[in-house]
Chains A and B, each alone.
Chain A
Amino acid sequence: MAQAEGGGVHMTHMKNVFSKIAIDQEMCMHCGACVGTCPQNAMFLHDLSVATDKNCNGCRLCIKVCPVGAIEIHVKGAKA
């Protein structure tokens, strides 16, 4: 998975395990489905990228709503 550094990848704290929402910027259609869905308002649509911030709590709704499957979560410290 091609992951953009910075904007698309953010370390976040979730129930004592560190997880990482990874947006594949090349698969991303920049449609904003994840942005409007995010209950934490932790995602942002720029002209040609989507970013997440520290308010992400790992709820994974963005992964489910993404029409093309461009979002993954990597959990460290948990059995993947």
Chain B
Amino acid sequence: MKTLETEILVVGAGPAGSMTARFAAKGGAEVMMIEKRQEIGAPVRCAEGISKSLLKKVDMTLPPKCVARNITGAKIFSPAGHCLTLSEEQAGDEVGVVLDRIFFDKHVAKLAIDEGVDVRLKTAATELIKENGRIAGVKATSLEGDLTIKAKCVVGADGFESQVGRWAGIDTKLSPKDITSCFQYRLTGIDYDANYCEFYLGSIAPGGYIWIFPKDEDTANVGMGIQLAQLKTPGQIKKTLDKFIAADKRLKDGKPLEMVSGAVSISAPIEKTVMDNLLLVGDAARMIDPITGGGISNGCIAGRIAGETLAEAHRKKDFSEKTLQKYEKGWRDEMEDRLYRNWMAKERLIKLSDDTFDKIIAALAEVGVEKVSSLAILQAVEKKYPDLVKEFRDLL
């Protein structure tokens, strides 16, 4: 078996892994990044929306081909069809740009490669190796045969499947209430307003929503997510989405260019994302926003913090949990409160009736809202209709 050596090994070349690798290498560390697929960015498992404000936080500009569509704002529909229209600035974290992930992921990986990261494709980690009780790398399969890759620190950026964390003994297990199952078409030949991301709430998608994210004038990502605990029959997600599309006169004659399935975590932040010689980042660390299901922003921001922490660990020649705590604290300072609050809010939202959704959306459309976060929505509704938010008062 061939043995390779590196200082930091990143498992998974999605945006969070690439961002971690990039900032670690920029700080002088030797970094290898392995990806089990044969192509970075494919297959896409994402609705592809991000805010423009993310880009500054992770020090990057988007080449035009990474951007499918710039978005004016968002429209949020209640079950009875009340519509709240929001500008891009109001709409918050997942609205502004609809990406082409197939190019975006490659671009972030290229930024890592430009800093000297050694990327290897079709190389899949199969287990962690330990030496004297400490994590010391992984075993992997590759086109060159089985590999042992020794590393002083292993980064689990391996997405929702999150094997690295489980192998290490970090608890990333999710309850059925904290998982959303998703299905999406890229539909073309549709006649719609391609300037807004649309969201449909209510009992049609309990614990999730239906989305329409524009890709171009007559093409959009049309998908839905439902909380696993609410699912009753196999394949229910796809069937429900098919029904929604068939009933929407703008969408029903659309033809699919792509089908995407997947699951996202909608959990509270996990207790621990670092240990001696190992850290977790992105979806693998359950950093997805429990309300929006968006993970790119949080994964990229945490990736930067992880990379900068690893660069410091490289300089100190110390990858102990104590040194890596800087990352643990850093990402929690950045997003933990929001993730926790949105997780709490998600639990209550599932219990809301369609009638209440109608009242809330209608009320918001009337009073307006400065910025859409769960907190801002609750505050705006409370001003006018305190009864509607009494169940959420402890979150205010």
| Complex contact A64–B228 (CB within 8 A) | yes
A71 to B261, CA, bound (A): 14
Of B45, B163, B238, B263, which contacts A65 at CB under 8 A?
B263
- Residues from chain B with a CB closer than 8 A to the CB of A32 are 45, 159-161, 262-263
Of B124, B176, B183, which contacts A47 at CB under 8 A?
B124
| Complex contact B228–A65 (CB within 8 A) | yes
| Complex contact A29–B261 (CB within 8 A) | yes
A30 to B260, CA, bound (A): 10
- Which A residues between 37 and 71 are near B, CB-CB below 8 angstroms? 37, 39, 41, 44-47, 61, 63-71
| Complex contact B238–A45 (CB within 8 A) | no
Chain A minimum-CB-distance residue to B283: A36
- Residues from chain B with a CB closer than 8 A to the CB of A39 are 173
Of B124, B161, B182, B259, which contacts A36 at CB under 8 A?
B161
A64 to B236, CA, bound (A): 8
- Residues from chain B with a CB closer than 8 A to the CB of A47 are 36-38, 122, 124
| Complex contact B37–A61 (CB within 8 A) | no
A11 to B287, CA, bound (A): 34
- Residues from chain B with a CB closer than 8 A to the CB of A68 are 183, 235, 237-238, 261
Most chain A beta carbons < 10 A, residue from B45, B234, B259 = B234
Contact A33 B234, CB 8 Å, known A47-B36, A67-B181, A67-B182: no
B179 within 8 A of A: yes
Of A37, A46, A70, A72, which contacts B263 at CB under 8 A?
A37
Interface residues on B, range: 35 or more
| Complex contact A64–B234 (CB within 8 A) | yes
Most chain A beta carbons < 10 A, residue from B124, B179, B263 = B263
A4 within 8 A of B: no
Closest Cβ–Cβ distance, residue B284 to chain A (whole Å):
9
| Complex contact B162–A29 (CB within 8 A) | no
A14 within 8 A of B: no
Closest Cβ–Cβ distance, residue B160 to chain A (whole Å):
4
- Residues from chain B with a CB closer than 8 A to the CB of A44 are 163
Closest Cβ–Cβ distance, residue B44 to chain A (whole Å):
10
B231 within 8 A of A: yes
A9 within 8 A of B: no
A59 to B342, CA, bound (A): 28
A35 within 8 A of B: yes
- Residues from chain A with a CB closer than 8 A to the CB of B234 are 63-64, 66, 69, 71-72
Top 9 closest pairs, chain A to chain B, by CB: A69-B235, A33-B263, A69-B234, A67-B261, A36-B160, A67-B183, A31-B261, A29-B261, A35-B161
**Pairs A–B under 8 Å by Cβ, sample size 27:** A31-B261, A32-B45, A32-B159, A32-B161, A32-B262, A33-B261, A33-B262, A35-B160, A35-B161, A36-B160, A36-B263, A37-B179, A37-B263, A39-B173, A41-B166, A61-B228, A63-B234, A64-B176, A64-B234, A66-B235, A67-B181, A67-B182, A67-B183, A67-B261, A67-B263, A69-B238, A72-B234
Binding site for A on B (CB under 8 A): 36-38, 43, 45, 122, 124, 159-163, 166, 173-174, 176, 179, 181-183, 228, 231-238, 259-263, 265
